[in-house]
Structure 1
């Protein structure tokens, strides 16, 4: 995963100090590309432990067309908790402690962090126990799963994932194997507009490759997940289409390191990458749409310890 470490160093050396939507501040650069040969191992970051189970359950959530974090909470996956929680605490029904800028405040104020955790835990419990509440506050709007599986049109919906699978199987040389999550008509209704916005598949020599365009890339927390998620997606689509895997090409727009992640990035740059793990998928007798988190695993993953950092919401 030297490609990822090279990205980190490049942004530290060449990035520009910029403000951002979250108020955290970033070191940012525009336009960067990495390439990963999936024949050489599964690109799961080894310079810090990365939670593959969370990556898997999130991707399967996308592939099933789900947009409600209730499913993820039940899977013990907190990736999207903050965006759902933000909808709840900003609503007229919420009457608890002031949660303004909870993400930043929780990293600077230990007492507030305790209150925030209590409120978050109560929110998640209510989401799981109260379906009506989950429908109202835990649904993130027309985010990735909705766009991938049921893009709305005047005449119904479009299942982009099934369409691209059919296209790869029946017309592998096409240059139209594209899936987009960026829907201008619905972007304002999403809890978070899609960061990984568009991807294109490519078939050559019996191998399936994919290029992703990511408009916004949180290098320390988000990008390692994005790399592994799209590598996994390529493996799954390749299995569905009876192809081998080729390359994952990751093209970044605004590639940034948050100001409160700089020390963590520098710590990671001191670590030596280890051997990449191997992906295992138990797909016998199943479609990729039927897979569960337990069907997917990695073998030989021996990373350096986890490095904690706050998420910017």
Structure 2
């Protein structure tokens, strides 16, 4: 066989790189998405309903290679969620800025002070009272995951809140261990009664898990999907918690299935989108978990090691608040 023909045949025979499904979706939305007004006022191109699947066997992890994803920030955020904390102080002390824009925006609007992000975060770290007043996000993600509020009768038609609510994560681990065939392996962040108290209602809102043949597969339904900035973090984080749960429950990782509702690109992300679509994915990142702590709530950032990750350069873009 001609050498060039053989090379092309071998290329076609290789499994398609996991990242192409993300790039195909990026291109589809940018070229054919519905242009719509949105809450931020920036404007988006959107489609409704999308699915991606990622094989997590052999330590595979869906880290995009066509731009750098700061996976340690995503991992630190996931560990923060599992503590139930809702104040950005612990995050910014670790150099994680994912959540700062929302309380910073609230502070600027309330005080009229034109403070920049670095100065705001410095005050959050240095001043516990300032952090308590301006750094709290309301009952977001982790609060719902590990302390979903429960109310009980207090007599005379009154109700009182239990000091400790439902720990959905702890109950999930027990369910996976003791009743793997259940169809109720779910944790949820969409607490309708508390949405108006949250800085941002949960985007990655519903997680469901499935055990078969000794493997754990997870499905994430994400209602609002910032494909350029948020989703690369979200798919890594979802894969990470599948890996953590699998280890805690003596299972092998199966797949991550990502389902997006409103999947969108902001109109001011043109440079990011066009730059990324000009690149081709390469490499096969691996995630190793170096330690198995006594519970899922005791992992530390040093327990996670990513290997074989050589992404193309970071592409910056503004966050729509």
Q: Give TM-score, length-normalised by structure 2.
A: 0.88
CA drift of 1:297 comes to 2.0
Residue equivalent to 2:167 = 159
Choose between structure 1 and 2 for higher RCO, CA contacts under 8 A separated by at least 6 residues: 1
CA drift of 1:208 comes to 0.5
Residue equivalent to 1:304 = 312
- Which range moved further: 260-269 or 202-211? 260-269
Residue equivalent to 2:67 = 48
CA drift of 1:286 comes to 3.8
Residues 122-148 of structure 1: CA deviation (Å, up to 9, x unaligned): 211111111111111101000000000
SS at match of 2:232: helix
Residue equivalent to 1:27 = 45
Aligned length: 291
Please give the alpha-carbon distance, in whole angstroms, between the structure 1 residues aligned to 2:116 and 2:280. 39
- Residue among 8, 13, 22 paired with 2:31: 13
Residue equivalent to 2:16 = none
Please give the alpha-carbon distance, in whole angstroms, between the structure 2 residues aligned to 1:142 and 1:228. 23
Residues 178-201 of structure 1: CA deviation (Å, up to 9, x unaligned): 111000000000000000111101
Residue equivalent to 1:125 = 122
Please give the alpha-carbon distance, in whole angstroms, between the structure 1 residues aligned to 2:225 and 2:302. 28
Please give the alpha-carbon distance, in whole angstroms, between the structure 1 residues aligned to 2:62 and 2:112. 44
1:183 to 2:191 alignment: yes
Distance 1:271 1:95, change over 3 A: closer
Residues 258-305 of structure 1: CA deviation (Å, up to 9, x unaligned): 001123112111111111211021224442311121221201100111
SS at match of 2:193: coil
Please give the alpha-carbon distance, in whole angstroms, between the structure 1 residues aligned to 2:267 and 2:170. 40
Contact 2:185 2:209 in 1 (8 A): yes
1:100-115 equivalences under 5 Å are none
Please give the alpha-carbon distance, in whole angstroms, between the structure 2 residues aligned to 1:285 and 1:200. 23
Residue equivalent to 1:137 = 134
- Residue among 42, 60, 64 paired with 2:79: 60
Please give the alpha-carbon distance, in whole angstroms, between the structure 2 residues aligned to 1:297 and 1:83. 30
SS at match of 2:242: helix
Residue equivalent to 1:257 = 265
SS at match of 2:205: strand
- Residue among 201, 209, 225 paired with 2:233: 225
Please give the alpha-carbon distance, in whole angstroms, between the structure 2 residues aligned to 1:284 and 1:201. 20
Runs (4+) of structure 1 exceeding 3 A deviation are none
- Which range moved further: 47-56 or 267-276? 267-276
- Which range moved further: 35-44 or 210-219? 35-44
Residues 188-246 of structure 1: CA deviation (Å, up to 9, x unaligned): 00000000111101101100011111000001000100010100010011111111000
- Residue among 61, 77, 102 paired with 1:83: 102
Please give the alpha-carbon distance, in whole angstroms, between the structure 1 residues aligned to 2:86 and 2:290. 25
Please give the alpha-carbon distance, in whole angstroms, between the structure 2 residues aligned to 1:288 and 1:281. 12
CA drift of 1:10 comes to 1.7
Contact 2:248 2:292 in 1 (8 A): no
